[in-house]
Each structure stands twice: as structure tokens, then as C-alpha cells.
Amino acid sequence: MARSRQGPPCTIVIKLGTSSIVHEKTHQPLLSVLSSIVETVVNLRSEGHKVVLVSSGAIGVGLQRMNLPAKPKSVSGKQALAAIGQGRLIALWDDLFGHLGQPIGQVLLTRGDISDVCLGYIYGLWQNSLTCFALLVSVSAISELLSMGVVPIVNENDTVSVSEIKFGDNDTLSAITSSMIHADYLFLLTDVDGLYTANPRKDPSAKQIEEVTSISAIRSQVSTTTLGSSLGTGGMETKIIAAEIATGAGVTTIITSSKRPENVFSIIEYHNSLKMPSPQDHSPGDESPSSLPRPPHTVFTPSPTPMKDLKSWTSHTLHPSGSVVIDSGAHRVLSKRESGGRLLSAGVVGVVGAFASGQAVRVVIRKPVNGTVVEVASAHSTRPNSPIPGHVSTKPLSRSGSSGDLSRDELRNENNAETEQFTDEDVVEVGRGLANYNSAQISKVQGLNSSFLPQMLGYADSEYVVENITIRTPP
Ligand SMILES: Nc1ncnc2c1ncn2[C@@H]1O[C@H](COP(=O)(O)OP(=O)(O)O)[C@@H](O)[C@H]1O
Ligand SMILES: N[C@@H](CCC(=O)OP(=O)(O)O)C(=O)O
């Protein structure tokens, strides 16, 4: 049976950079580029593919609206221009897609939304009620839009993004979005047709790289230090970082020109042809892989062992919001596979910074003094369920084994009495995980047996304070 070169329907994220949306000098929208993108997306949809568009351009469109010559330097200036431009940008997309009867939906994200909201969903942790709550908000909205036949148009919510929660560039945002929704392809459409050995705008002898199988190897072969248009953010460097994130999650990543968006079809076709069975299995009419022309592009091949579990994702990709300080016993236990990467409150000796439940946190230990980790002897050593002074169990005790006699106030007093305050200088990171409770709650129950959680917090969704921990530095 002849196989379609388009292959089975797939999920495609297309990212369009500012340099492809507005004119570098006049800042006028590049209507012909935008119209071709709209036609391509609608055609892809009619072939059964699901398409998410990540559109930069809010600041660029804002510049044109306010008749300003250049991007402001200040964060607040950029935030204001994004607020001015985003509405017009989405109106423009809605207008163009509307002519072809294609509904769109605007999705504005910050890094905080992604780390809190989406990751439980991405790696199938919906059984976990804490992440389940979060996932309902954002990724499920994108999935719902896709299943309704809508094209989600994603951008960073620049106006509310402060540096701690900022992606900063839409290349990274598109990579995380494509990982989140398990996309098959991420297309980074830009004003050059691929990655070159050096910036082709500056160096005419630069050669295009066709395929990248190892991102670390390619870094030494290309120069990405010069930026492109004055409007884009990050140039090729952020595209390589994006490719690293996306291919690490199993997404084939392609850099190609926004001037020929219809090439998305022929690029998918070309790569499908490479996956076709050997020539003797071909049906009449199928062409051999080599007979298809190769549209100009750079392909980053997906990792053969994509990160499939939340632990790896947490440790590599998420921006940690604070730290949970653990004792050496907990460090030892967490380093063993059997621990399941889950930390009980009994093993916690402190908290640094503020974070919400569901956010990524650093798992840290007290900095070794003269090569030895100083065991923290604080409230925990005298607390119920701490059998050995200076050491806290990481095993949950049964309720009957705990000191149910202590009143809530007595527990709180004891907790406050000797709790040591840590700063980032006092600690060293040994791993990362996802918090099940916020920083204030973890600090309240640190050193206590997990059976005290309901009494201390008024509820206990999980007996573990941090989960999905990967320890990168064992004791
Ligand atoms: N090694 C390289 N290969 C290709 N382009 C490069 C390279 N190094 C720097 N660039 C520049 O990166 C620019 C694309 O990045 P950018 O301006 O941020 O685009 P976008 O707005 O589409 O994200 C190109 O215009 C090019 O000038
Ligand atoms: N979120 C910003 C774009 C940031 C960005 O990464 O821009 P680009 O490098 O052009 O993709 C905006 O809408 O103006």
C-alpha cells in the first residue's frame, strides 16, 4: 500500500520570531509572511495535523503603534510596549486566520505557569492531586483548544513577567511548549534558513549545517555570538538552547526560513521519506528517499532516550524557586533508588527562599566545613519521632508511634524555638525536586514526623514534602 509522504497526523509547534513578523526598520507588520504562515497552518490542519503557533512580535508591534525608533532598554519600557502591541498582534492573527474560517486562541505564559502548572501533566502525573490542580489551568487549555480545532497562539506574558519567572525569549518558550504537549516537530522559523557555521549575515563564507545529532559537539563547530536583527532576542544561541530542550524531550527540531513557510510540508515529507522502509518494500509510486529534494533547513534529531519522567525534567529544565535543606540521613536515603525520590518532613532542617507548592526546588545540604558535613542539631533532634539526637528519621512513623499528646501550640513553639535560619551561602545543592507544600508550610513541619502534617497544616495532601527528587551529588 502506498504510504503518504506526509505520514500520520502529528502535533507541530511553529515558532515565528519578531524578525519575521515586523520590518526591522519600519516595524510594519510583514503581511505577506504572516499570510503565508496562516495558509500553511490552515493547510496543515486540513491534513489532520494539530498546530500550535508561538508568535513573538508584541514589542515590535508596540514600537510601530507608538512610533518609536528602537526597543527600550528598561524592563518596564519593554513590558509597556508588549502591553500595547500584544492586543494588536493577536487582532492581526485573528483577522488573517478569520478570513480562512480558522478560530484561534491566545495563550500567554510565564515560566512560573509552566513549572507550577504544566509538568505534572506532561509526564503523566495526574494522579498526584497537587499537580493535578495545577495542570487544569494551562496545558489542558492548550489541549482543549487543539481538540476543538482551534489554533493556540502562544507568547510570553511579557507585561507581568519579572526576571525570576521570565523565559526571556520565545525560542525557549516554544521548546518547553512543544515538550509539554509531546509535539512531534518544533519549527523555529526565522530570517535565515538554518544554522550556519557563523552568522551568514556577517560572514558570506559560512556554511549551512544540515543535521545536528549532538548539540554539545556542534557548539564547538559554530559561532553564534553575533545577533541578527535589532528586534530579535538571543539570535542563534537561544535556538540551540531551545533545540537542546526540545530534542531532549523527543521533539524533532527544525530551523528554517519564515519566507517559505510552506516548506514545513516538504520538510516533514522529506523526513518521513527517510523513515520509509527499504526500497524493496516500496509500493509502485513511492519515491526513494534520495529522490526528494531537501528544502534548506537544519534538523536537530530527537534524543533516542528522551526524558520521559518528571524527575529528569525537574532536574534539568525547571527554574528552582527556593531550597529545602535536608540532613545527612535524608541525603543518604534519597541517594538510594528505593527512596523513590520522596522526602519526608522529618529529614528537613530548613528552607531557603519562598516557593509555592508545585514549584521546583533545590535540595541542599549544609555546606561541609573542612570536608565534613556538620550535622544540624536543632529543634528536630528533640522533636517527637527523632530517636537519635542530631539525626532525624526519613521513614514515616505510624500515628501511634508519634507523640499525639503534644498540642498544636506546643509543636509550633518547639518548631520555632530552635529553628536554624539558612542562607544560600550556608548550603550546597545536591539535587532538585518538586515541592508538595509551600515554603512556609515546609518550614512549619520541618523535622516532624509526617503524621503531624494534618495537625500542623490543617490538611495533608501528601505525606511527602518534596517529590520527584533527583540527587545529583550523593554523599
Ligand atoms: N551561526 C549562525 N547561523 C545562523 N544565524 C546566526 C548565526 N549566528 C547568529 N545568527 C543570527 O541569528 C539571527 C536569527 O535570530 P533572531 O534575530 O533572534 O531571530 P528571531 O527574531 O527569528 O528569533 C539571524 O538573523 C542571524 O543573523
Ligand atoms: N515576547 C516577545 C518576544 C521575545 C523573543 O524571543 O523574540 P524573538 O527572538 O524575536 O523570538 C514579544 O512578543 O515581543
Contacting residues for 57 by C-beta, under 8 A, at least 6 apart: 16, 18, 21, 22, 29, 85, 89, 155
- Assess if residue 314 is contained within a domain: no
Cα Dmax for the chain: 82
Segment among 139-153, 209-223, 418-432 with least mean pLDDT: 418-432
Segment among 177-181, 274-278, 327-331, 354-358 with least mean pLDDT: 274-278
Same domain, yes or no: 223 and 100: yes
The predicted pLDDT at position 168 comes to: 64
* 287-305: pLDDT as tens digits: 455 578 999 999 999 988 7
The predicted pLDDT at position 460 comes to: 84
Report which of residues 393 and 464 the model is more confident about: 464
Query: How many CA atoms lie less than 13 Å away from 357 in the CB half-sphere?
Result: 19
435 and 324 Cβ atoms separated by less than 8 Å: yes
Please give the distance, rounded to the nearest whole angstrom, from the Cα atom of residue 152 to the centre of ligand 2. Answer: 17
The predicted pLDDT at position 255 comes to: 98
pTM: 0.69
Phi, psi (degrees; rounded to nearest 5) at 442: -65, -40
Within a 10 A sphere around the Cβ of 347, how many other Cβ atoms?
A: 29
Closest protein CA for atom 6 of ligand 2: 169
Domain hosting residue 346, numbered range = 320-471
Q: What is the mean pLDDT of the chain?
A: 80
Same domain, yes or no: 342 and 293: no
Amino acid 173 reads L
ipTM: 0.98
Please give the distance, rounded to the nearest whole angstrom, from the Cα atom of residue 59 to the centre of ligand 2. Answer: 7
Say if residue 350's pLDDT is above 90. Answer: yes
- Assess if residue 312 is contained within a domain: no
Same domain, yes or no: 292 and 337: no
The predicted pLDDT at position 2 comes to: 38
* 25-83: pLDDT as tens digits: 999 999 999 999 999 999 999 999 999 999 999 999 999 999 999 988 888 899 999 99
* 86-121: pLDDT as tens digits: 999 999 999 999 999 999 999 998 765 554 444 444
Q: How far apart are CA 318 and CA 113, in angstroms?
A: 11
The predicted pLDDT at position 219 comes to: 82
- At residue 280's C-alpha, the angle toward residues 279 and 283, to 5°, is 85
Same domain, yes or no: 288 and 324: no
Segment among 179-183, 213-217, 331-335, 397-401 with least mean pLDDT: 397-401
Same domain, yes or no: 241 and 197: yes
Ligand 2 atom nearest 158 alpha carbon? 1
Say if residue 382's pLDDT is above 70. Answer: no
Residue at a domain's end among 241, 269, 300: 300
Using CB distances shorter than 6 Å, the residues near ligand 2 are 17-19, 56-60, 82, 155-156, 158, 169-170, 232-234
Same domain, yes or no: 285 and 327: no
Same domain, yes or no: 254 and 328: no
Same domain, yes or no: 110 and 257: yes
Same domain, yes or no: 327 and 363: yes
Using CB distances shorter than 6 Å, the residues near ligand 1 are 17-20, 190-192, 195-196, 198-201, 222-224, 226-229, 232-236
Same domain, yes or no: 335 and 266: no
Q: How far apart are CA 84 and CA 101, in angstroms?
A: 26
Segment among 51-65, 68-82, 153-167, 351-365 with least mean pLDDT: 153-167
Give me the CATH number covering residue 341. Answer: 2.30.130.10
Ligand 2 atom nearest 235 alpha carbon? 9
Question: Which of 138, 85, 61 has its CA nearest to residue 107?
Answer: 138
Within a 10 A sphere around the Cβ of 410, how many other Cβ atoms?
A: 12
Number of domains present in the structure of the chain: 2
Please give the distance, rounded to the nearest whole angstrom, from the Cα atom of residue 153 to the centre of ligand 2. Answer: 13
The predicted pLDDT at position 228 comes to: 66
Q: How far apart are CA 152 and CA 220, in angstroms?
A: 36
Please give the distance, rounded to the nearest whole angstrom, from the Cα atom of residue 53 to the centre of ligand 2. Answer: 13
